Amino acid sequence: MNRGFIVSRICIKCGYSNPDSENYCAKCGAILPKVSVAVARPARVKITKNYDTIKLKVEQLLSYEITFDEYYEVLDSIYSKIEEAGNTVSNMEIPEELAPYFKEQLEIGLTGIDMFLQAIEELRNLPSLIEELDSVTNENEKENIMNEIERVKEQGLNLAAEATEHLNIALDMAVENMAKWREEDFGTGYYA
């Protein structure tokens, strides 16, 4: 029941504010929740799916639960999706009047995308290190390779976690910037 509050369906994915009558975002097609615009700030939705998937696959690889091919397939799939998103964002044409609102957000998002791609590249080294470990009999060499595996794992996952945080900050900024822009330009704005 709408008790006098203006109700809008704000897209959690892109921040676009849709009319109450819409069930899907007019900008990106995502399913819309009902959110009262009287709410000061919606709860931050933290997106971690790709990070969680990669972390799980690294653990499965190191415990020999999945094959190298299965591991590479997951990394390649995530890499191509993130790379495509980066290309899409890089090629976006932003109207001049919106540029001040979204410039920093885009820079942070693109940095996050680049970092995530670097993390995947780093984590692609694990299978060859595991193969090397499995073929070595000298205990000192084994220990050195195990240390290198741990270093690559930690460096790759830490970079992916930092990248994920950058992407979540950019998403959060999108929602805030859209709200600021709408407040300043209500009724005459780009989306009005």
Q: What is residue 19's predicted lDDT score, i.e. its pLDDT?
A: 78
Helix 49-62 to helix 126-135 angle, to the nearest 10 degrees? Answer: 10
- Give 10-residue mean pLDDT values along the chain (192 residues): 48 71 83 56 70 97 97 97 90 79 83 96 98 95 97 97 90 73 56 46
The pLDDT assigned to 157 comes to: 97
Q: Evaluate whether 25 touches 11 at the Cβ level (below 8 Å).
A: yes
Q: What is the dihedral of CA 97, 99, 100, 103, to 10 degrees?
A: 170
pLDDT at position 112 is 92
pLDDT for 1: 38
pLDDT of residue 130: 97
Residue carrying structure tokens 């972390």: 55
- pLDDT, position 186: 52
Angstrom distances, CA of residue 173 to CA of 77, 101, 111, 147:
27, 9, 14, 39
Residue 180 CB neighbour total at 10 angstroms: 13
What radius of gyration, in Å, describes the C-alpha atoms of the chain?
22
pLDDT at 172: 80
Distance CA 182, CA 131 (A): 56
Residue with tokens 């959060």: 172
Q: Which candidate, 91, 92, 71, 74, places its Cα nearest to that of 27? A: 92
Sheet holding 35-36, edge to edge: 17-18, 7-10, 35-36
pLDDT score recorded for residue 44? 58
110 and 86 Cβ atoms separated by less than 8 Å = yes
Residue 143 pLDDT: 97
